[in-house]
Amino acid sequence: MSTEIIDRKTATHPKKSEVVISVERLSKKFCRDLKQSLFYGIQDITTDLVGGRRKSDTLRPGEFWALKDIDFQLRRGEALGLVGANGAGKSTLLRIISGLIKPDTGSVKIRGRVAPLIALGAGFNPILTGRENIYANMSILGLSTQEIKERFQDVIDFAEIWNAIDAPVQTYSSGMAARLGFACAIYTEPEILLIDEVLAVGDIKFKAKCYRKLHELRDKGTSFILVNHNPQAILHICDFAVYLSKGELIVSGKTEKVIEKYENDLFLNDTHESSQVLFLPEKTESESLGLDIRSLFFRDLEGNIIKSLVSGKPVNFCVGCQAHQRVDNVTLHLKIKTIGGEGGMGTVLFLSGEHDEKFFEIPSGKQELQVELPYLGLGPGTYTMSIKLKQSSIYTFDVVESFRFTVKSNGKMSECCFYQPRLWKLASPEKS
């Protein structure tokens, strides 16, 4: 039971493969009843004081596991996304890693200086000015006064709070406080950044700037863990992800795979015998990155929504979306994979608006993007499609990793995964 810090100084020659956070069999229990919780706390302290052994690995009445046997590693320069529904244990895990609370069992080993961005404006004193808070905050994160002086202008330029810098932080909007917190954390140039939902506030332009900065930091060797409810934010920036549910690690690994499982559990619990409309939850303006996917479905060429796709028949793939303001140069990207079968999952079709140079100018409000397929080349089977809305290949507005649909046979094809429309001819050689 420990949160061990191996070395708080930067390694002189940081190796990319070096493990900077190692979480091993980590568990944390809580009790919802405050009185009971206080009683257990006193009981634990007393047992520790008299040198007794308390049973950390069993639950007492009223307790529950907020985290149970969590294992993962984060390497230098890697970005890890933490996903999971409300109450899954994401914040608890970050709070343990940042040393704010202790685990009951297991360990966290950290190599490097950690900057936690755990709560909005956490660490800020509301009655102090922005300027005073920058000094206080950055010195807590390990910088000398001289170092803070040198970086001060960069911090206020990044946070864009030039005029308000000498006003008390309590007069700041939540977006301004978030911008200042983020700027302080990144300009301390930590080896490890822990970011809990703080990027969920702030306007779209600022969020895009933060993501660009995170890319830059990662390229320089900063590792970070990002908690976000929006899978697209995780997909946008993280190499790996961990999916937690009710305190348990459901799956960890490559981001796409983890998000796919998360989305399957979130939206697609029902059976997918036939295609249907997939509605996605509405995002608030602060959650949105400017253009959101709201629904996914197919139409026939007469415009009717269709439930069953048939190999060889024409079909329109439709993306219902919502733009918070006018957006230009939008491209739609579709990747279709097979599900199951001997070979497992494999990409069978990739369509990119960018490759086809099809850019949309999307006015503010609800819109529908369509991709017309004059005939559906997919053979019968179940497929999963990932859908991305991007701008200029860099900026991702929204992503859905797994929209499942089934394709039925037109009765005229053999057992294969590809439908080819064809004309059978007999040509006489003299005429050709």
Nearer Cβ to ligand ATP (5/85)? 85
Q: How far is the CB of 9 from ligand ATP (least distance, A)?
A: 30
Tokens for 273, please give them. 């015998």
Return the residue of 6, 48, 87, 212 that touches ligand ATP, per CB under 6 A: 87
Phi, psi of 27 (to 5 degrees): -135, 150
Mask: binding to ligand ATP, 379-408, rule CB under 6 A, as x and -?
------------------------------
Beta-strand pair 278-279/291-299:
antiparallel
Q: Is 201 in the site for ligand ATP (CB under 6 A)?
A: no
Restricting to residues 6-25, which ones interact with ligand ATP according to CB under 6 A? Answer: none
State which of residues 12, 17, 58, 86 lies at the interface with ligand ATP (CB under 6 A).
86
Can you tell me which of 68, 76, 90, 218 binds ligand ATP, judged by CB under 6 A? 90
User: Distance from CA of residue 319 to its chain's centroid?
Assistant: 21
Strands of the sheet with 2-7, listed across from one edge: 2-7, 105-111, 19-31, 63-75, 248-254, 240-245, 79-83, 223-227, 192-196, 114-117
Q: Which stretch binds ligand ATP (CB under 6 A): 81-89, 271-279, 332-340, 408-416?
A: 81-89
The reply to whether 218 sits near ligand ATP by the rule CB under 6 A is: no
Name the nearest CA neighbour of 204 among 282, 323, 328, 289. Answer: 289
Shortest CB 5 distance to ligand ATP, Å: 22
Among 20, 88, 193, 399, binds ligand ATP (CB under 6 A): 88
Query: How many Cα atoms within 13 Å fall on the side-chain side of residue 120?
Result: 14
Q: Is 103 in the site for ligand ATP (CB under 6 A)?
A: no
91 touches ligand ATP by CB under 6 A: yes
- Are 200 and 226 contacting, i.e. CB atoms less than 8 angstroms apart? no
Scan residues 28-57 and list those touching ligand ATP (CB under 6 A): 30, 32
Do the strands 291-299 and 305-306 form a parallel or antiparallel pair, or are they unpaired?
Answer: antiparallel
Candidates 4-12, 88-96, 256-264, 331-339 — which segment interacts with ligand ATP by CB under 6 A? 88-96
Q: Does 231 bind ligand ATP (CB under 6 A)?
A: no
Binding site residues, ligand ATP, CB under 6 A = 30, 32, 66, 84, 86-92
